[in-house]
Amino acid sequence: MFITIEGIEGSGKSTVAERIHEMAVGAGIEAVLTREPGGTEISEKIRTLLLDPQNRSLSPLAELFLYLASRAQLVDEVIEPKLSSGVMVICDRFMDASVAYQGFARHLGEELIEELNKLAVRDAEPDVTFLLDLPVEAGFERGPISRDARGIASMDRLEQEERSFHEDVRRGYIRLAERHSERVFVIDATRPLGEVIDSVISILEHKFGLDLKKK
């Protein structure tokens, strides 16, 4: 099974992804946790380029192709082999992020992004996606979620974008969820983290038949 977690900055998606992984492993399910951009040695180097605040001159199209390159490498090196061997994959962001960020907020066009995504991911599309939704202001109030090499909290290149950019990202995610309602489940991320995780686990157990009770 392939599970992806999406959301704007500060939505808590990384924590939720980690918790799903912990519960799956605790239930005796073989599972791997990865992230986008990143997840492989090459993809992590691309991540550094993408998120470095000094790279503000990076063009929208160049940004898109870097994300696609990172994604293709992650699919080839991690996602596809794991899924083929029956391992559950949980990914902190995946192809939907490019639709929201580059397609919608960067105005490159959702249709273009979806076509290029097909080339990058091939058959490795998520079985289920959880969109952790909350107002942009609420995400900002949670503060910087990135840390520099010294472990000091800082804002990466995308976190430093104007509020209007993040509003567009959120609208892009909501639009995507409406178009793919059979796969994308919108979760109210303004609630306490425990309630958010409970909602995600409930869907996995009742709609997808996963038993995540600790063995």
For every residue of 181-200, DSSP letters joined together read TTTEEEEETTS-HHHHHHHH
What's the CA gap between 14 and 7, in Å, rounded?
Answer: 10
Give the integer Cα–Cα distance in Å for 188 and 108: 28
Where does 52-183 have alpha helices with state H?
A: 60-74, 80-84, 95-98, 110-121, 136-141, 163-179
How many angstroms separate the CA atoms of 211 and 27, rounded?
Answer: 7
The CATH class of 2-206 is: alpha beta
pLDDT in tens, 65-88: 999 999 999 999 999 999 999 999
Mind listing the pLDDT tens digit for each residue in 87-117? 999 999 999 999 999 999 999 999 999 999 9
Cβ atoms < 10 Å from Cβ of 58: 14
Average the pLDDT over 183-204 and give the result.
97
Q: Which token pair is 210?
A: 């996963």
pLDDT tens digits, one per residue of 12-68? 999 999 999 999 999 999 999 999 999 999 999 999 999 998 999 999 999 999 999
Terminal-residue alpha carbon distance, the chain: 19
User: In this predicted structure, what is the pLDDT of residue 144?
Assistant: 52
Which residue from 100, 102, 92, 94 is spatially nearest to 62, judged by alpha carbons?
102
Give the 3-state secondary structure of residue 94.
coil
Helix (H, G, I), strand (E, B) or coil at 213: coil
Each residue's pLDDT tens digit, 137-148: 998 887 555 444
> Over pLDDT 90: what percentage of the chain?
85
